[in-house]
């Protein structure tokens, strides 16, 4: 049976609290996710000094940082819970720091043009997932070509709208098909897999269902919060556990309806076959049943 990989993006909703981080991990496992992702950034290596000098809002993002020290413990606990562990590196040294712990790297839409980051992640041989918010197809293809020149053999490109939150009618899911067409039009080494997924900022079940069952996406990233108290929840792009739990369950249940590729009565229908209308008079059940019917 097919199953969609749902990856819970914690972002800064951990609030710097290790216990909260672990609860996010455990909850993600309980609601059916296959992986969880954190972000490793330092404000002075994320924004230029000109911006930090002029913007108190950006300076306050210091409070959103994840401590490098907790990465080993987060990775261990994530694996104990049966999930894959990932983290987005936002500075080059973070790639080295994360390498022993992550099952795959995720690179954000805002770093799409920074090919040095992609090259460094690619040299680790780890799978790489990257988002495409705000990008043109030419930019995406340039980044993909960059990765194809590295040892990386497993690449997932996430269609994404980087508006927080994104309205359903601005989701442009057709871009998923366009990304697949782009991939099929270029030469991919036989030993390399390049797939297309989706990064959600809509908090819309309908968008998720459309993404999976119409566009054939099997890798979905979404932003999670525990209780509406995470630092990013107020922006409106984060799912609560009970909301996404229902979606994950419904998506994967939907695949059980595909059947076994045969056109024939199911086992559950066999008892009712003889209760169809008899062709001789149009009455139910078949005459062979009427003769022996005892009520």
Beta-carbon contacts of 120 under 8 Å, excluding residues fewer than 6 positions away, are 92, 95
Beta-carbon contacts of 38 under 8 Å, excluding residues fewer than 6 positions away, are 10, 14, 21, 66, 74, 86, 87, 88
Give residue 2's pLDDT. 72
What span, in angstroms and rounded, lies between the C-alpha atoms of 105 and 155? Answer: 10
Over the range 140-165, which residues count as b (16 or more CB within 10 Å of their CB) and which as e? bbebbebbbebebbebbbbbbbbeeb
Give residue 105's pLDDT. 98
- Rounded CA Rg of the chain: 24
**Which residues in the chain come in under a pLDDT of 70?**
1
What pLDDT, in 10s, does the model give residues 208-223? 999 999 999 999 999 9
Give residue 1's pLDDT. 59
Q: Which domains does the chain have, with CATH numbers?
A: 5-258 (3.20.20.70), 262-295 (no CATH)
End-to-end CA distance of the chain: 41
Residue from 70, 66, 67, 81 nearest 23 by CA: 81
Query: How many Å separate Cα 272 from the centre of its chain?
Result: 43
Residue from 101, 139, 107, 135 nearest 120 by CA: 107
């Amino acid at each position: 049976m097919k199953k969609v990989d749902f990856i819970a993006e914690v972002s800064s909703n951990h609030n710097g609290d290790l216990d909260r981080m672990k609860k996010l991990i455990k909850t993600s496992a309980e609601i059916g996710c296959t992986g969880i992702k954190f972000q490793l950034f330092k404000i002075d290596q994320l924004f230029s000094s000109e911006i930090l000098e002029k913007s108190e809002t950006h300076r306050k993002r210091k409070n959103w940082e994840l401590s490098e020290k907790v990465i080993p413990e987060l990775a261990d606990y994530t694996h104990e819970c049966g999930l894959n562990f990932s983290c987005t590196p936002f500075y080059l040294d973070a790639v080295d720091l994360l390498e022993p712990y992550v099952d795959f790297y995720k690179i954000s839409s805002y770093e799409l043009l920074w090919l040095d980051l992609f090259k460094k992640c690619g040299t680790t041989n780890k799978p790489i997932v990257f988002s495409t918010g705000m990008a043109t197809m030419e930019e995406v293809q340039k980044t993909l070509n960059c990765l194809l020149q590295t040892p990386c053999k497993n690449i997932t490109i996430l269609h994404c709208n980087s508006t927080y939150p994104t309205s359903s009618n601005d989701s442009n899911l057709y871009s998923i098909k366009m990304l697949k067409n782009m991939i099929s039009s270029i030469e991919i080494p036989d030993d390399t897999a390049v797939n297309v997924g989706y990064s959600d900022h809509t908090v819309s079940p309908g968008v998720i269902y459309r993404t999976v069952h119409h566009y054939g996406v099997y890798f979905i990233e979404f932003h999670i919060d525990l209780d509406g108290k995470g630092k990013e929840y107020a922006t409106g792009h984060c799912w609560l556990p009970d909301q996404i739990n229902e979606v994950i369950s419904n998506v994967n249940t939907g695949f059980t309806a595909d059947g076994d590729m045969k056109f024939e009565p199911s086992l559950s229908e066999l008892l009712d076959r003889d209760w169809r209308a008899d062709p001789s008079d149009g009455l139910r059940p078949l005459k062979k049943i009427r003769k022996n019917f005892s009520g």
